[in-house]
Copies of this chain bind each other. A is one copy, B any other.
Amino acid sequence: MNLILLAPEQALSETLYQLNARQQEHITKVLKKKHGDTLRVGLVDGLIGDGVLDTEHWQVSLGQLTIAPPKALPMALVLALPRPNMLKRTLMNITAMGVKTVHLLNSAKVEKSYWQSPVLTEASIHEYLIEGLEQARDTVLPTVYQHTRFRPFVEDVLPPLLENRLGLVAHPYQAQACPVDLDQASILAIGPEGGWNEFEMEKWTAAGMQSVHLGDRILKVETAVPVLLSRLYPAK
């Protein structure tokens, strides 16, 4: 937690915010801050600055917030639904890296049970996104969509999203090396363990997505995602 992120429902007035239990614990145990100390705070979807801690009422009183959140990545990520534990970490990590649009998608090799996971509830996803923002000192919440059917997504949802964007689908075979340092917006689709099947690859290609590989090493989703993002958009 490199930033105390304050949500609208924590506001007591325009400049006074109530800290929640998780924040109180972090401020006490990790940051070891005391009454009257300064904290780095940010408003959800807003600016960043300093606040003064009141440990009597567990409130923080905001100074001028003048720092803009770090730049977002100009891309949307389509992710075949990973298994729940992998999903948690992936949501945190991609949020920390600056992804603002995530489409979780079904695929032939996604286990049906993954869609039943409590990780997919709105409250749970929100929690991982918040953790990712707090890690990276960002304030802008990503939007996460869930698509339980592959075909309607690729045929109906994807085409308008692809306008003026480069479409890339990660696939180890019949693919070119993934581009490095893109100067345009993109949509990147990453498959499940075991990859997209033949039908799915045909659909991606028909929709105008270009298949790209990452060399001859097969990586887990949790590794492949930061590798791909860092390659497409190396931070300056």
* Closest partner residue, chain B, to A224 (CB atom): B226
Copies of this protein chain in the complex: 2
- Let me know if A54 is at the binding interface, CB within 8 A: no
Residues of B within 8 A of A230 (CB): 226-228, 230-231
- Let me know if A217 is at the binding interface, CB within 8 A: yes
User: Is the Cβ of A217 less than 8 Å from the Cβ of B93?
Assistant: no
Nearest chain B CB to A187's CB is how many angstroms away? Answer: 19
Residues of B within 8 A of A216 (CB): 70, 137, 235
User: Is the Cβ of B177 less than 8 Å from the Cβ of A218?
Assistant: no
Nearest chain B CB to A230's CB is how many angstroms away? Answer: 4
Residue among B89, B181, B218, B229 making CB contact with A180, cutoff 8 Å: B181
- Let me know if A98 is at the binding interface, CB within 8 A: yes
Residues of B within 8 A of A231 (CB): 230-231, 234
User: Is the Cβ of A218 less than 8 Å from the Cβ of B2?
Assistant: yes
- Let me know if A97 is at the binding interface, CB within 8 A: yes
Range class of the A interface residue count: 20 to 34
Residues of B within 8 A of A214 (CB): 235
User: Is the Cβ of B135 less than 8 Å from the Cβ of A177?
Assistant: no
User: Is the Cβ of A136 less than 8 Å from the Cβ of B217?
Assistant: yes
Residues of B within 8 A of A137 (CB): 216-218
Known contacts A96-B218, A136-B218, then 19 further A-B pairs from the complex at CB < 8 Å, ordered by chain A residue: A70-B217, A93-B220, A93-B222, A93-B223, A96-B220, A98-B217, A135-B218, A135-B220, A137-B216, A177-B235, A180-B181, A180-B234, A222-B222, A226-B226, A226-B227, A226-B230, A228-B230, A230-B230, A231-B234
Residues of A that sit less than 8 Å from B by CB: 2, 70, 89, 92-93, 96-98, 135-138, 177-178, 180-181, 214-220, 222-223, 226-231, 234-236
